[in-house]
Amino acid sequence: MKQLLLLAAGALFYTSVAHAAPQSSTVQAAGGPIRVTAIFHASTQIEYMGSVIDIDPVSAGRYTKKADIILVTHTHPDHFDPAAIDKVRAPYARLVAPIPVIQPYQQLRRPLALYPMKNGSILNFKMRSSKGAPIRIRIEAVPAYNLVRGPKAGQKFHPKGQFNGYVLTLGGKRIYFAGDTEATPEMMKLKNIDAAFLPMNLPYTMTPQEAALAARAFRPRIVFPYHFRFPFNKANTRPQQFQNALRGTRIQVRMLDWYPAPSVARAMAAMGKH
Pick from 221, 163, 151: nearest CA to 193: 221
Contacts with Zn ion: how many residues (CB under 5 A)? 2
Single out the residue of 54, 56, 140, 180 in contact with Zn ion (rule: CB under 5 A). Answer: 180
Closest CA to 102 of 73, 68, 66, 139: 73
In the set 35, 76, 149, 219, which binds Zn ion (CB under 5 A)?
Answer: 76
- Min dist CB 141 to Zn ion, Å, is 16
Q: What share of the chain is helix, strand, coil (3-state, %, to 5)?
A: 25, 30, 45
Rounded to whole angstroms, how far apart are CA atoms 248 and 244?
Answer: 9
Contacts for 3 with CB less than 8 Å, ≥ 6 apart: none
Minimum gap (Å) between residue 74 Cβ and Zn ion: 6
Q: Is 194 in the site for Zn ion (CB under 5 A)?
A: no
Which of these segments, 172-180, 183-191, 195-203, 214-222, binds Zn ion (CB under 5 A)? 172-180
Interacting span for Zn ion (CB under 5 A) from 37-45, 68-76, 116-124, 181-189: 68-76
Residue type, 100: P
Closer residue to Zn ion (CB): 29 or 165: 165
- When the beta carbons of 164 and 169 are compared against Zn ion, the nearer one is 164
Rg of the chain over CA atoms, in angstroms?
A: 19
Q: Decide: helix, strand or coil at residue 40.
A: strand
- CB-count burial class (<10 Å; 0-12, 13-18, 19+) for 149: middle
By beta-carbon proximity to Zn ion, the closer residue of 76 and 238 is: 76
Question: Which residues in 34-70 are b (16+ Cβ under 10 Å) and which e?
Answer: bebbbbbbbbbbbbbbebbbbbbbbbbbebeeebbbb
Per CB under 5 A, the segment of 11-19, 137-145, 177-185, 212-220 that binds Zn ion is: 177-185
Rule CB under 5 A: say whether 156 interacts with Zn ion.
Answer: no
DSSP letter at 251 equals P
Instruction: Report if residue 149 touches Zn ion, rule: CB under 5 A.
Output: no
Contact between 68 and Zn ion by CB under 5 A: the answer reads no
> Segment contacting Zn ion (CB under 5 A): 24-32, 70-78, 135-143, 212-220?
70-78
Min dist. Cβ of residue 101 to Zn ion (A): 12
Q: Which residues of this chain interact with Zn ion, rule CB under 5 A?
A: 76, 180
